[in-house]
Chain A
Amino acid sequence: MSYEIRIDNFEGPLDLLLHLIRKNEMEISDIPMAEITSQYLAFLDAMQTLNLDVAGEFLLMAATLVHIKSRMLLPPDGVEEAEEEEADPRAELVRRLLEYQKYKEAGTALDSFPVLGREVFARRFPAPELEGADEGEFAAVGLFELVEALQKLLKGKPEASFHEVSVEQLSVTERINSILELLRGRESIAFDELFPSHPQRQELVVTFLAMLELVKLRMVRLMQNARFGVILLLPAVREEALEERLEIGDEVFGYG
Chain B
Amino acid sequence: MDTAELKVVIEAMVFASETPLRPERVAEALEIDRSAAKAVLDDLVGEYQRLGRGFVLLEAAEGYQFRTRPEHGEWLRRVLRNRPFRFSRAALETLAIIAYRQPITRAEIEYLRGVDSGGVVKTLLEKHLVRILGKKDIPGRPMIYGTTREFLELFGLRDLRGLPTLKEFSELSLDSSPLEEEGVTESSAPSREELN
Contact = CB atoms under 8 A, between A and B. Distances in A.
Interface of A: 11-15, 18, 21-22, 27-29, 55-57, 61, 96-123, 125
Contact of A112 (B67, B114, B192): B192
Contact of B156 (A96, A100, A109, A120): A120
Interface string B35-68: 0000000000000000000000010100001111
A99 B87 CA distance: 21
Nearest to A106: B96
Contacts of A61: 114
B153 A100 contact: no
Q: Which of A15, A22, A102, A107 has the most CB of B within 10 A?
A: A107
Given A11-B90, A116-B67, A57 B115 contact: yes
Contacts of A106: 96-97, 99-100, 163-164, 166-167
A118 B73 contact: yes
Given A111-B87, A118-B73, A29 B115 contact: no
Interface of B: 15, 18, 58, 60, 65-70, 73, 76-77, 80, 82, 84-85, 87, 89-90, 92-97, 99-100, 111-116, 153-157, 163-164, 166-175, 179, 192, 195-196
A6 B174 CA distance: 19
B113 A14 contact: yes
A121 B68 contact: yes
A103 B67 contact: no
Q: Which of B68, B93, B179, B192 has the most CB of A within 10 A?
A: B93
Given A98-B169, A108-B92, A120-B68, 13 more contacts: A15-B114, A18-B172, A57-B115, A98-B172, A101-B172, A101-B173, A102-B166, A113-B157, A114-B73, A116-B153, A118-B84, A120-B58, A120-B69
Contacts of A123: 15, 66
Given A103-B100, A118-B85, A122-B66, A112 B154 contact: no
Contacts, number: 137
Contacts of A15: 114
B76 to A, nearest CB: 5
A107 B100 CA distance: 10
Instruction: Give 5 nearest A-B pairs by CB, closest first.
Output: A107-B92, A12-B115, A114-B70, A119-B73, A106-B96
A115 B92 CA distance: 13
B156 A113 contact: yes
Contacts of A14: 113-115
A117 B114 contact: no
A107 B174 CA distance: 16
Nearest to A13: B114
Contact of A103 (B15, B76, B85, B96): B96
A117 B196 contact: no
A108 B69 CA distance: 21
